[in-house]
Amino acid sequence: MPASTAVTQGGRGIITSRLIGTATAVPHHIGWGTGTTAVLTTDTALQTEDTGGSPAYARVTGTGTQTTTTSTSDTHTVIGTLTSNGTKTISECGLFTAATSGTLYVRGVLATAIALAVNDSVQFTFNVQITSSVV
């Protein structure tokens, strides 16, 4: 369970550019890291993304779907599984538009870090619900 999660300012730009048809990058690449700093909407990367190890770690491509939380198809859901290439403790995760670099769409810091051994896996589910209010 996340301690804090947010769609970043870059993520908001992705949403609006996809709505008007100018974006081609799809945010479905999942990365993880060891950072514990609270999430800010101004975040552009994970605090400490795990990119090392042998074989070198890489973001995974999650499966994206429209799901229903409150009203029909109001939620963008991405699910993907990362497998540890060494002993590590994971405390943050993010959803990006590319396998390397790319724009950070969502960042989350876990309420409880996850200690992993080699070949342990974690499945991440990102749900971004579009809501509105009558103003």
Residue-wise pLDDT tens digits, 25-61: 899 999 999 999 999 999 999 999 998 776 678 899 9
In this structure, are residues 125 and 77 in contact, taking their beta carbons and an 8 Å threshold? yes
Tell the residue number behind the tokens 């890489």, with chain if given: 58
Tell me: the pLDDT tens digits for 68-114?
999 999 999 999 999 998 899 999 999 999 999 999 999 999 999 99
* Statement: residue 135 has pLDDT above 80: no
d(CA 132, CA 135): 9
pLDDT of residue 54: 65
Q: Cα–Cα distance between 28 and 99 in angstroms, integer?
A: 9
Specify the pLDDT at position 2: 60
| Per-residue model confidence (pLDDT) at position 76 | 95
pLDDT of residue 65: 96
Residue ranges per domain, the chain? 2-129
Radius of gyration of the chain (CA): 15
> From CA 134, how far away is CA 38, in angstroms rounded?
30
- pLDDT of 11: 95
Q: Which amino acid is at 69?
A: T
Helices (H), the chain: 9-19
As a whole number of angstroms, the distance between CA 128 and CA 77 comes to: 6
Terminal CA-CA length for the chain:
32
